[in-house]
Structure 1
C-alpha cells in the first residue's frame, strides 16, 4: 500500500515527532497516532544551546541518522486547515531557527492496526549544522546531559521523558542507544553518592 501524500492536500498535514515533540508538540492538532519510520536511527548527536543547554554548555538532544536497518518510534500528528500554517510557523521557529533542523518527508507506519502508511514531515539536524556534536561514547553523552540545562529545563528531563515515552507507548520497540545513555546517567549519579535525578511527571503524548 502506498502512503498517502498529505502534503498535496493543503488542508491536511502529518508531522512526525521523535524527540520532545512526543510529549510536548506545542501546537494544536486534530489527532495523533503512535508508530515508526524506517531507515533512520535516533541518536543524541545534536547540540542544543537554547532549550536544554546554553552557549557555554550545549546540551545533547536527538536527531535522526540514516540507517537502512533501523527504525525510529514516535508520534505523528495530523494538523488540518488553519492548524497547518500555524503549526509550521511554530515548528520552523522552534526546530529550524532555534534548533538548527531541516525538514524531510518520510513514510510513517502507524502502530494501530488498520491504518495504512502516511507521508509525514520530520525535522532532522545534520552534521552540517554548526551546533551538531556528533557521536561520542554513552558515558561522554551521559556526562554532558547530566551537566546541562537551558530555557525549558534540564537536559536530564529531556532524556527521561523520552525514555518513559518509549517504555509506556512502545514497549515492544528497541532503542538501545536511548536506554544505554539513560543507564549511564543513572550510573553517574550513583557514583556521586547514590543521588538520582528526580523523574518528571509525564505530560502525556496525546
Structure 2
C-alpha cells in the first residue's frame, strides 16, 4: 500500500464564513451555499494585527457574539476528501494562529427553500483573546478601519467587500451594525 493511500481522510465538512471567507476562502471546496446561522450577531469587535492591521495599529475585523434573537448571514463551503485536511491546515494558520479565533460547530440554514440545515465549522474570536477590541461606536470603529492596513490589504477593503456581499447575496437583510460602520467610514474617506 502506498503512503498516500494510508493517510486517513477526514469526513466531509462544511465551513461557515461570515467575514473575509465570504469573498476570499482561499481553499478548495466542492460547493458553496449562502445562508445563515442563528444565535449569533456579527460585530467588528476583533483586532487584526496581521491581515488588516499591524501591532501598532490593529485593524478591526468581524467576529460572532452570542445573541439568542440574532442571525448572521454568510457562506458555507463543503470540503471533501483530502480537501478537508488541506482546508483545516490552511484555516488553522489563517484564523487560529494569525487571527486568534477558536472553532465551534453550528447549525447552518441554507437560503434555498426546502434544504435541510447542516452542521458547519465556524471560527469565532472571543473576548479572552489578547487582540480582541470589544465594542465601540460605529464612528470609532470606522475611524480605526479607515486608517489601518495589513499584509492582506487595507482594512476598509475588508469592510466594503463584506457590505458588497450582503447587498448582492442577501439584499433583504438589514445588518445595521455593518451598514452603520460602512456609512461612517465612507463619510471619512469621501
TM-score range, shorter chain: over 0.9
- The corresponding residue for 1:22 is 22
- Equivalent residue runs for 1:180-195 within 5 Å: 180-189=180-189
Instruction: Give CA-to-partner distance per residue, 1:23-53, whole Å, 9 cap, x none.
Output: 0001000000000000000000000000000
1:169 match = 169
Mapping 1:77-116, distance limit 5 Å = 77-116=77-116
Counterpart of 1:66 in structure 2 is: 66
Task: Give, in whole Å, the separation in 1 of the partners of 2:145 and 2:163.
Answer: 14
1:174 CA drift (Å): 1.8
Question: Which runs of 5 or more residues in structure 1 are unaligned?
Answer: 1-8, 190-195, 197-206
CA distance in 2, matches of 1:96, 1:156: 22
Contact 2:45 2:62 in 1 (8 A): yes
1:11 Cα offset (Å): 2.8
User: For residues 11-160 of structure 1, what are the structure 2 equivalents within 5 Å?
Assistant: 11-160=11-160
Instruction: Kindly provide the CA deviation profile for residues 76-121 of structure 1, in whole angstroms up to 9, marking residues without a partner as x.
Output: 0000000000000000000000000000000000001121000000
* SS at 2:24 equivalent: coil
CA distance in 1, matches of 2:10, 2:155: 36
Is contact 2:12-2:78 (8 Å) kept?
yes
Q: Where does structure 1 differ by over 2 angstroms across 4 or more consecutive aligned residues?
A: none
Q: CA deviation at 1:10?
A: 3.2
CA distance in 1, matches of 2:11, 2:122: 18
The count of residues paired between Structure 1 and Structure 2 equals: 182
Secondary structure class of the residue paired with 1:54 = coil
Using the alignment, how far apart are the partners of 2:174 and 2:123 within structure 1? Answer: 21
- Structure 2: state its 5+ residue gaps: 1-8
Deviations 1:138-183 (A, max 9, x none): 1100000000000010000000000000000001112000000000
| CA displacement at 1:69 relative to structure 2 | 0.6
